[in-house]
Structure 1
Amino acid sequence: MPITRIAIPERRFNAWQSKISEALQQSLESCFSVPANDCFQLFDRYGETDRVFDKHYLSGDESGRSEDLLVFQITAGRPRNIEQKQALYAALVERLHKSIGINPQDVMIVVTYTEPEDWSFGGGKVFQVADIPK
């Protein structure tokens, strides 16, 4: 039951949004055991002066990051092990590189976890694990 916020440059939104959405969902399903209908994504569009980031901090190579930087903030309801996280990171970056041509250094991913009672999917009710469709 992850929910993901995706920070995207405004100028790239129309061309990239659907491809990013598809790549993210496919990666979550294949690497994080997320069901197909469990899709909650929020795209935050930013203008050129709305983001401040270091182009070289832990970027992985000399070229660093560009203004195309995408930041994925994934909040999940149950923890995954390091192998699942690494698989997700690699799969998402690969899918994005193939579908939109983004430089892998321009993809940042942050995963955090919550407890089931931290979620309400509607109706003002606390989420119960028993509520997950079989």
Structure 2
Amino acid sequence: MPFTRIALRAGKPVQYRKALTDSIQRALVATFNVPKDDIFMLISEHDAANFVYDNQYLNVQRTDDLVMIQLTVSNTRTLEQKKALYQRLVDELHESPGLRREDVLISLVEVVKENWSFGNGIAHYAL
């Protein structure tokens, strides 16, 4: 049920982008109990003029390797699960594709379950 948007600077090879999506999916499966085949992700690449960030906000030293990850999820996770996801995500992304932990920005967007339709005009999670 997560819908993931990944934004990064243009120019990374396809293997790098694949490592991003694989790492994010592993973290979601491990911490949010997402089924392995529940994967919906978009990657957008941006030139320098269209990839704007502060390289030291909150005393985190970021580089141009910054990856911004926005996850739209159902509002069913606990604070502990969210913290576990953040940690697992940076660990997975550090392992492969080798991102610095400081270069991972994560944003969760929580929606109620009836706000999902996976096709055919059906509200799949509506009670």
TM-score by length of 2: 0.92
Q: Could you tell me how far apart the structure 1 residues matched to 2:124 and 2:29 are?
A: 21
| Corresponding residue for residue 69 of structure 1 | 66
Shift of 1:3: 0.5
Q: Name the CA shift for 1:20/1:13 in 2 (closer, same or farther; >3 Å).
A: same
1:18 and 2:24 aligned: no
RMSD after superposition: 1.5
Q: Secondary structure at the match of 2:105?
A: strand
Shift of 1:10: 1.1
**Amino acid in structure 1 at the alignment position of 2:66:** L
Q: Sequence identity, in percent?
A: 35
| Corresponding residue for residue 84 of structure 1 | 81
* Worse overlay, 24-33 or 115-124: 115-124
Shift of 1:13: 4.7
Q: Which of 96, 107, 116 is the aligned partner of 1:99?
A: 96
Q: Secondary structure at the match of 2:114?
A: helix
Q: Could you tell me how far apart the structure 1 residues matched to 2:74 and 2:59 are?
A: 28
| Corresponding residue for residue 44 of structure 1 | 44
Does the aligned pair in 2 maintain the 1:59–1:105 contact within 8 Å?
A: no
| Corresponding residue for residue 56 of structure 1 | 56
Does the aligned pair in 1 maintain the 2:8–2:51 contact within 8 Å?
A: no
Q: Which segments of structure 1 move beyond 4 Å, counting only runs of 4 or more?
A: none
Q: Could you tell me how far apart the structure 2 residues matched to 1:79 and 1:59 are?
A: 31
Count the aligned residue pairs. Answer: 127
TM-score by length of 1: 0.87
Give 5+ residue unaligned stretches, structure 2.
none
Q: Deviations over 1:47-73 (max 9, x none)?
A: 12111111001243xxx1001110110
